[in-house]
Amino acid sequence: MSKAGALDLASGLGGKIGKDEVLSAVEKYEKYHVCYGGEEEERKANYSDMVNKYYDLVTSFYEFGWGESFHFAPRWKGESLRESIKRHEHFLALQLGVKPGQKVLDVGCGIGGPLREFARFSSASVTGLNNNEYQISRGKELNRIAGVDNTCEFVKAEIEIGDGLPDIRLTTKCLEALKQAGFEVIWEKDLAADSPIPWFLPLDKSHFSLSSFRLTAVGRFFTKNMVKALEFAGLAPKGSQRVQDFLEKAAEGLVEGGKKEIFTPMYFFLARKPENANQ
């Protein structure tokens, strides 16, 4: 999935957090959660710190295991995870009707995998909005490597993104918020509902795939022990194993949530501002 190797994982662990401060950052992040005695109101009050710590700690793991695009996608039988992700990004560009030379804003862009694919697919200029300094610096480097640094850029701003959110919302609440903000919803759907292959399958330990080997039970076992060895040798900061452990718990939670159909990572909506006030 990703060209990132063991040393890339080790060097990137902790993001912008000092290597000698990773363990204390892990402990502080964990304390935001109920299972460690945290409270929802505290998470909401300190969401910026919580989200930044989360992505500083996990971004290298994400890239190592999942690739440069931190999202799920509807997947056809016979299609690899990587192919499905690229196809989904092309689908989004087509839904937007993006044309060459137009400008696109990607809010919560991660390290920019989707925005680079958008730019290559549509010849548009894409700006990624992110609140994590490490992800922005990593994204800029990947833009340079991909040769899209003239058409793709990043802006740092305070936003809530990803798995580090203090709370989640019902899809009906998302629709209400769009309408209250003045948007016209053209269409919306949970794209996970009709996916021939369940979105959570790559994270399911009972599933094996050579194309997504690092995500399988065997691959994750190797990663766990590799991180343990890197931390022992001093190549990865203390606390790296703890990060890997809570990501493992997160993966298990996503699989269970997917099987019980209580959570979707692929709720899609296409909305626009009315062309005039009478619409």
> If DSSP codes are grouped into helix, strand and coil, which group holds residue 265?
coil
Q: What is the mean pLDDT of residues 106-112?
A: 95
Q: Identify whether residues 63 and 87 lie together within a single domain.
A: no
On the question of pLDDT at 164 being above 80, the answer is: no
| Three-state secondary structure readout of 190-214 | ECCCCCCECCCHHHCCCCCCCCCHH
Tokens 């203390």 found at: 238
Q: Identify whether residues 113 and 145 lie together within a single domain.
A: yes
On the question of pLDDT at 37 being above 80, the answer is: no
Name the helix (H) or strand (E) containing 184. strand 184-190
**Pairing state between β 152-156 and 125-130:** parallel
Cβ neighbours for 88, distance < 8 A, ≥ 6 positions apart: 71, 73, 74
Q: What is the mean pLDDT of residues 118-142?
A: 95
On the question of pLDDT at 123 being above 80, the answer is: yes
**Which pLDDT band, with edges at 50, 70 and 90, does 25 fall under?**
confident
Query: How many CB atoms neighbour CB 38 within 10 A?
Result: 17
Q: For residue 255, what pLDDT is reported? A: 95
Give the residue ranges of DSSP H helices in the chain: 6-12, 22-30, 40-45, 47-65, 81-96, 113-122, 133-146, 171-180, 217-232, 240-259
Residue 195 lies in a domain: no
Which tokens in the block code for residue 224? 């766990």
On the question of pLDDT at 252 being above 80, the answer is: yes
- Measuring CA to CA, how many Å separate 194 from each of 40, 135, 260? 33, 32, 15
Q: Are 251 and 163 in contact (CB under 8 A)?
A: no
Cβ neighbours for 234, distance < 8 A, ≥ 6 positions apart: none
Q: What is the pTM of this model?
A: 0.86
Number of domains in the chain: 2
Query: In angstroms, what is the C-alpha Rg of the chain?
Result: 19
Of the listed ranges 9-13, 33-37, 101-105, 165-169, the least confidently predicted one is: 33-37
On the question of pLDDT at 166 being above 70, the answer is: no
Q: Identify whether residues 162 and 87 lie together within a single domain.
A: yes
**Rounded percentage of the chain residues whose pLDDT exceeds 70:** 87
Phi, psi of 105 (to 5 degrees): -110, 125
Residue 183 lies in a domain: no
Q: For residue 225, what pLDDT is reported? A: 93
On the question of pLDDT at 260 being above 90, the answer is: yes
Q: What is the distance between the alpha carbons of residues 212 and 194, in angstroms, rounded to a whole number?
A: 22
Q: Identify whether residues 100 and 34 lie together within a single domain.
A: no
> If DSSP codes are grouped into helix, strand and coil, which group holds residue 173?
helix
CATH number where 101 lies: 3.40.50.150
As to burial, measured by CB atoms within 10 angstroms (0-12 exposed, 13-18 middle, 19+ buried), residue 269 is middle
Q: Identify whether residues 46 and 116 lie together within a single domain.
A: no
Of the listed ranges 61-75, 80-94, 147-161, the least confidently predicted one is: 147-161
Q: What is the mean pLDDT of residues 53-70?
A: 91
Q: Of 115, 146, 167, which one is at a domain's C-terminal end? A: 167
Q: Identify whether residues 148 and 213 lie together within a single domain.
A: no
Q: For residue 266, what pLDDT is reported? A: 95
Residue 220 lies in a domain: yes
Q: Are 154 and 111 in contact (CB under 8 A)?
A: no
Q: Identify whether residues 91 and 142 lie together within a single domain.
A: yes
Q: Identify whether residues 80 and 163 lie together within a single domain.
A: yes
On the question of pLDDT at 159 being above 80, the answer is: no
